[in-house]
Structure 1
Amino acid sequence: MHAQNGVQPFAYRCRVYFEDTDAGGIVYYVNYLKFMERARTERLRDLGFAQSTLAGEGLLFVVHSSEARYHAPARLDDELLVSAQVMELNRASLRFRQQVRRATDDALLCEGQFLVACVRADNLKPRAIPEALRAAFAGLSDAETAKAGE
């Protein structure tokens, strides 16, 4: 993964552990969703926003919908690179495009899109994304969308 136009692509690195695999040593399909969730959380942290702090301020992000396509298996001890690219920024939601790749050969293992809603912690009703967070995501969305079109 390389940067273009000054945009540093985001990738969360993780390792496949025994607990992530089935009896055959292949990553169980639902665990890719966990890897992608962690990448979205780390993307927030990379922007300076911790989920725990946001929750303390009454804000949560919840997955509204997800779509995943599986291309090749990851196996025990593989190192993975999991991207979290902002594709769409709305008033109270974000759409991420994500990929899971094997670090050694950059093989695409799984890809998906996730619509993530911003909600109030007390009643789980939609709320506007705070302006500081919106500005951080808006900069990413513009830059990443332009990069994705290249």
Structure 2
Amino acid sequence: MRAQNGVQAFAHQCRVYYEDTDAGGVVYYVNYLKFMERARTEHLRALGFVQSQLAGENLLFVVHSAEARYHAPARLDDELTVTAEITELNRASLRFKQQVWRVKDTTLLCEGQFMVACVRADNFRPRAIPPALRTAFADAGGLGKQSSAGD
């Protein structure tokens, strides 16, 4: 899955389990948000950062806003690819474009955008994304040097 800027979007593989579905064997709509959250977490891990360690450094990432559009249902035992593409990097926040695809027929099931804020773990007030993390995000998103103005 190539991003619009030519950078390869991060991709996380997962499978639909019984617990993810409703009585009809179809993925319950809110579980797509969980799949996308896991992809963002694994993307962070792939960049060399672990959320539990960041929390120890008084840093958390929280979802500020979410938007999702559903196209087709996933079902029990489907293998999924969940992408996470950084499309915007600000001083204390970043925006992800995410998609959930069924592997066997490459069907787009769900897509969304998420604004994620960087906050202090002790009081949940906004804080600047640390330089090393900002650089990793910029490089991963193919964003180069981003302005630190505005959030």
Q: Identity of counterpart residues, as a percentage? A: 76
SS of the counterpart of 2:142? helix
Q: Secondary structure at the match of 2:41?
A: helix
SS at match of 1:75: coil
Using the alignment, how far apart are the partners of 1:135 and 1:36 within structure 2?
Answer: 22
Partner of 2:149: none
- Does 1-10 or 131-140 show the bigger shift? 1-10
RMSD (CA atoms): 1.9
- Counterpart-to-counterpart distance in 2, 1:23 and 1:4: 38
- Tell me, yes or no, if structure 1 residue 130 matches structure 2 residue 104: no
Q: Which letter maps to 1:42?
A: E
SS in 2 for 1:77: coil
Which residue of structure 2 aligns with residue 88 of structure 1? 88
State the TM-score, normalized to the length of structure 2. 0.90
Letter in 1 for 2:124: L
The structure richer in helix per residue is 1
What is the identity, as a one-letter code, of the residue corresponding to 2:59? L
Change (3 A) 1:124 1:103: same
How many residues end up aligned between the 2 structures?
144
In the superposition, the TM-score normalised over structure 1's length comes to 0.91
Q: CA deviation at 1:9?
A: 3.1
User: Structure 2: 5+ residue runs without aligned partners?
Assistant: 145-151
Q: Alignment partner of 2:72: what SS? A: coil
SS at match of 1:40: helix
Give 1:21-100 correspondences, 5 Å limit: 21-100=21-100
Contact residue 7 and residue 142 of structure 2 kept, 8 A: no
Q: In structure 1, list runs of 5 or more residues that go unmatched.
A: 145-150
After superposition, the Cα gap between the structure-2 partners of 1:73 and 1:60, relative to the gap in structure 1 and judged at 3 Å, is: same
